[in-house]
Structures are given as C-alpha cells and as structure tokens.
Amino acid sequence: MSEYDTGTFGEFWAPYYDDIFEEAAFEVGLLREFAGDPPRALELAIGSGRVALPLSQAGVEVTGIDISDEMISLLRAKPGGEAIEVIVGDFADVGVDETFPLVYLPFNTLFALMTQERQVECFHNVGEALEPGGRFVLDTFVPDLRRFDHNNTRMGVSSISSNEAHAYEVSIHDPLTQKVVSHQVRRLEDGSTVVLPVTVRYAWPSEMDLMARLAGLQLEHRWAWYDKRAYTEKAGQHVSVYRKPSQ
Ligand SMILES: C[S@@+](CC[C@H](N)C(=O)[O-])C[C@H]1O[C@@H](n2cnc3c(N)ncnc32)[C@H](O)[C@@H]1O
C-alpha cells in the first residue's frame, strides 16, 4: 500500500461508508443552534453528506470542502446533494472567499491532518473564515493510550461471529508523532471481507485549546456529545465549541 495521504480515506472507504455509518442525528440540533440568522455553515471534510444533508434539510445553507471525488460523488447522488456547494481541496486550507457564522468539523476528522503544524494551520484558517462572534465546532475521540500494549500495538474487536458482519482492527501507535496507523478488517453482509486503512494524528483536548488560542479563538463549551451531556474524566469523546470574539 502506498503512503497514506489526503485522498486515501475516500479511495478505500467510499464504497462502504454509507452502509457502515448512520446518518447524523444529534449533531444537527446543536449545529443548527450556532448557524446564525439566516442560517449558514461551512463543513470541513463534508464527505458523503452524513451531517450536511440533514443539516441543510433543517434549513441551514451548507457549503462543504472535501478532497475526495469518491466521497463527493456519494453526496451528489443523494436527494438534495446537488444543491450543496462543495469546494474540492484540502480542508486545512479552508479555501473560501466568504465568512461564516459556523464552521464545523465532525467525526474525528481534525485527526486526518497528519502533523501538529497542519492542525494549527487549520485552526488559524478557520479563524479567518469565521464572522466576528462565529463558532468552530468539532468532535473527536479523547486519546486513551491504555488501548495499546507495551509494543504500542493494539488488536481490537468490535464484533465477530461466523455468519454475521463483523469488524476488527489492528493498530500501531507512535507516541512521538501521536500517529496511529490502523487497518480495519470488515466482513460485509455479502460474505466478502475488506481491509480499510485509517491513519490519524491525534491531539489532546488541551492541545486543541492551545491551537484555538493561537488562532484567536476561545473555548466556549466542551460537552461529551452533541446532546450536551457533561464532559467528565470518563468521556471517550468531546464536542468543543470555540468562539471568535465579536470585536
Ligand atoms: C470520516 S469522513 C467524515 C465525513 C463527514 N464529515 C461525516 O461526518 O460523515 C472523513 C472525510 O474527510 C475527507 N478528508 C480527509 N482528509 C482530508 C483533507 N486533508 N482535506 C479534505 N478532505 C479530507 C475524506 O475524503 C472524507 O470525506
């Protein structure tokens, strides 16, 4: 397999993505709250529209950025998908000419940027693309290094049985670069098996808060999920809302 780059996720996952992941439910209510009036939002890494389509059905004019033609084709094929403006490019560059009351980046996808520098640039560019008083909302998992053994490897099983769809993953962790290289093995309902690669460069919530500060943004809320449940030491994920000052 060649080096994992910005297009790799879409190239491998697009044929299976919408069968594996359900359309967003909780995300939409919270994002709608921050979308302003008239409601507008920019989704970084819009993918197949899992979040963008229900959000646009909720009355928000959504613009998206994604680098994968395969993922954008999935969006285009769905009802309402043609109406969403999509900019093809690297979302870290946030290459837009207008500003938005809301920029959002769901589903761990900040971690698709492979270096701290690129993640810092992403926060900076989001700051430029926000209106005064606008919000940047993102969710990611909270890193938990106990998942890995002393060789920094992990074998995880989410479900397995002889005759049903199952999934397991093997991962290797590099604590120096904060990267995790994983292969997910999925047996599909038709009996075939696929190997899907994912590489992430994780960051701690505190590290993101610093990236936000460098970009002139302030942490306004941190919840454990989009339904605003409390963020505690037990939370495996967080939804963070950063605000650009009004002046
Ligand atoms: C896990 S999917 C998330 C899609 C959508 N936001 C959702 O919540 O379902 C990750 C998406 O990020 C896109 N992506 C990954 N790296 C990217 C990059 N550097 N620039 C633009 N898109 C990227 C992939 O093509 C894919 O559509």
**pTM (2 d.p.):** 0.96
Query: How is residue 140 written in tokens?
Result: 């990611």
Q: Is 127's pLDDT higher than 60?
A: yes
Q: Note the pLDDT of residue 36.
A: 97
Residue numbers of the domain that contains 83: 8-142+204-243
Do residue 17 and residue 130 come from a single domain?
A: yes
Pocket test for ligand 1, best of 3, 9, 21, 140 (most atoms within 8 A of CB): 9
Residue 193 lies in a domain: yes
Do residue 60 and residue 85 come from a single domain?
A: yes
Cα gap 157→168, rounded to integer Å: 4
Strand partners, 173: 180
Residue 56 Cβ contacting ligand 1 at under 6 Å:
no
**Count H helices, E strands: the chain?**
7, 11
The rounded Å distance from CA 176 to ligand 1 centre is 24
Query: How is residue 112 written in tokens?
Result: 């698709």
Do residue 48 and residue 82 come from a single domain?
A: yes
Do residue 95 and residue 27 come from a single domain?
A: yes
The larger pLDDT score, comparing residue 122 to residue 1, is at 122
Q: pLDDT tens digit string along 128-169? A: 999 999 999 999 999 999 999 888 898 887 766 655 556 788
Pick the residue whose CA is nearest to atom 17 on ligand 1. 6
The rounded Å distance from CA 109 to ligand 1 centre is 6
Strand arrangement of the beta sheet that strand 166-174 belongs to: 153-159, 166-174, 179-187, 193-201
Residue 47 Cβ contacting ligand 1 at under 6 Å:
yes
